[in-house]
Amino acid sequence: MFFEGSEKKIEVILADSSQKLRSFGQPFWADIVACANAEILSSVSNEFCDAYLLSESSLFVWDDRFVMLTCGTTTLADAVMSFIESVGEEAIGFASYQRKNEYLSHLQSSSFQDDLKKIRQTIAGNAYRIGHLDSHHHYMFSTKKPFIAPAADTTNELLMYHINGDAADYLRGMNQSAQGIRELLQLAELFPDFIVDDFLFEPFGYSINGIKGQEYFTIHITPQEKSSYVSLETNVNLSEHPVDIYARLLSSLNPGSWDVIGFNSAKNTDGFPAHLCLGSCSLATEQGYEVNFSHYQQLCHEVLIPEYL
């Protein structure tokens, strides 16, 4: 059974603070999500943020911005276009669109280039590729509007591939539970006092959203043996966090390789398992985001499995 776990991502920041995205209401966001061929499963809220758990990943809405991630064969670019049509191009202060190369890109309904062509029909911007073309890489598009990001506007992404060991066996097993996965990943320690909302898919697969004040995190697990993928995204300031979140997750999930992408977030490999850095680059955008990308491979990870010929 194959499922494309890698996400497409859109982030939009409004130009005018008089509009409040949270006031648009859940029916509006349900329509936007439907344009990507996904649906809202559940939601949690606090005084700053509404966090929607989707059939394919997540949506976070603040008054002045939103972040939406979708996986599988979703059509996130169509959701982007629907949002722009609803609010008008002039209402957008900044937008970025991000997409990773897929395991089976031929199963997707569009490529990044197709998405880019569609988005550029209504909003101008620059496009980039970070990473090796013949290995893990990510495509990015950001608008050219006169927006400057605050230095404290950080995002951290940890994308893990080919998980292995006891945790992987549990995530592929018949006896897993949402509570069991939260305990396996030690989420109460990694993200204390966060309001969480999670969902366990059939036959396996797991998503969780968490919010605390303005902070959020989301984790998505696609544990299929030959194409396993686990992603974490958060705006928590990792340099000030009491627990080394990346090191804990790498230790628990034991991936063969992983990507780290930071927006205004310093690189730090403390606590990583023994590894090789197969590629690293940085990009300074016109809007003031310092983007760092690194792809790592664990040493001595491969386990040979006999194959029938």
Query: How many H-runs (helices) and E-runs (strands) does the chain carry?
Result: 7, 16
Query: CB neighbours (10 Å) of residue 151?
Result: 10
For residues 286 and 144, the answer to whether their CB atoms sit within 8 Å is yes
The angle subtended at Cα 209 by Cα 203 and Cα 212, nearest 5°, is 160
Determine whether 220 is an active site residue. yes
Determine whether 302 is an active site residue. no
The angle subtended at Cα 62 by Cα 58 and Cα 67, nearest 5°, is 35
Burial string for 73-99 (b: 16+ CB within 10 Å, else e) reads: ebbbbbbbbebbeebeeeebbbbbbbb
Determine whether 281 is an active site residue. no
Catalytic position from the list 4, 11, 56, 102:
4
Catalytic position from the list 6, 207, 231, 257:
207
Catalytic position from the list 6, 71, 252, 294:
71
Catalytic position from the list 136, 138, 162, 220:
220
Which among 82, 53, 92 has a CA at the least distance from the CA of 219?
53
Determine whether 47 is an active site residue. no
Report d(CA 282, CA 290) in Å as an integer.
Answer: 7
Report d(CA 47, CA 294) in Å as an integer.
Answer: 35
Determine whether 301 is an active site residue. no
- Containing 246, the helix (H) or strand (E) segment is helix 245-253
Determine whether 132 is an active site residue. no
Torsion of CA 254, 259, 263, 268, to 10 degrees: 60
Active-site positions read: 4, 7, 57, 71, 207, 220
